[in-house]
Amino acid sequence: MHSRAVSATRKTGLTPSGRESAQIRQARISASNFARDSFRVIADDEHEQGTGSKGAVDGMRGRPHGLAMRISVTLGIAGALAFTVEANAVENRPLCDFVQKVLAAKADSFMALRGEARNPAVFHNEVFTGTLLPASGSECTLFIRSKAGSAELPAKYSCTLGSAKTLDAANRVFARDAQDLRACYPKAQFNVMYDGDGKDPADSLDWIVSTDVPGFSLELEMSNGMDLIAQSFGGGSGNPELAITLDVTEN
Model pLDDT for residues 125-161, shown as the tens digit of each residue: 999 999 999 999 899 999 999 988 889 999 999 999 9
The reply to whether 145 falls in a domain is yes
pLDDT at 152: 92
In-domain check, residue 156 = yes
pLDDT of 236:
67
Q: Are residues 191 and 86 in the same domain?
A: no
Same domain? For 67 and 126 the reply is no
Same domain, yes or no, for 155 and 189?
Answer: yes
> Distance (Å, rounded) from C-alpha 159 to C-alpha 132?
9
pLDDT (0 to 100) of residue 91: 53
Q: What is the pLDDT of residue 155?
A: 98
Residue 77 lies in a domain: yes
Same domain, 35 and 156: no
Give CA–CA dist 184/251, Å, rounded.
19
| Contact assessment for residue 153 and residue 146, using Cβ atoms and an 8 Å cutoff | yes
- Residues 124, 105: one domain? yes
Helix 167-184 to helix 94-103 angle (10° resolution) is 60
- Same domain assignment for residues 38 and 101: no
Looking at residue 186, its pLDDT comes to: 95
**Number of compact structural domains in the chain:** 2
Of the residues 39, 68, 91, which one is the last residue of a structural domain? 91
Asked if residue 126 belongs to a domain, the reply is yes
Q: Which of 91, 108, 142 is the last residue of a domain?
A: 91
5: in domain: no
118 and 230 part of one domain: yes
End-of-domain residue from the set 56, 73, 91: 91
DSSP H helices, 51-210, are 52-62, 67-91, 94-103, 120-123, 167-184
> What is the value of pTM for the model shown?
0.64
Domain that holds residue 112: 93-250
Looking at the structure, tell me whether residues 223 and 126 fall in a common domain. Answer: yes
- Same domain as 121, residue 49: no
Whether 15 is in a domain gets the answer no
Q: Clarify whether residues 106 and 80 are in a common domain.
A: no
Instruction: Per residue of the chain (251 residues), give pLDDT as tens.
Output: 433 332 222 222 333 443 334 443 444 444 444 444 443 433 444 444 454 444 443 443 444 444 444 434 333 434 433 333 333 444 578 999 999 999 999 999 999 999 999 999 999 999 999 999 999 989 999 999 998 888 999 999 999 999 999 999 999 999 999 999 999 999 999 999 999 998 898 899 999 999 999 999 999 999 999 989 988 887 666 789 999 999 999 99
Are 247 and 158 within 8 A, CB to CB?
Answer: yes
Distance, in Å, from the CA atom of 163 to the CA atom of 244, rounded to the nearest integer, reads 6
Query: Does residue 12 sit within a domain?
Result: no
Same domain? For 79 and 185 the reply is no
Same domain, 84 and 111: no
Q: Please report the pLDDT score of residue 241 as a whole number.
A: 94
The verdict on residue 9 lying in a domain is no
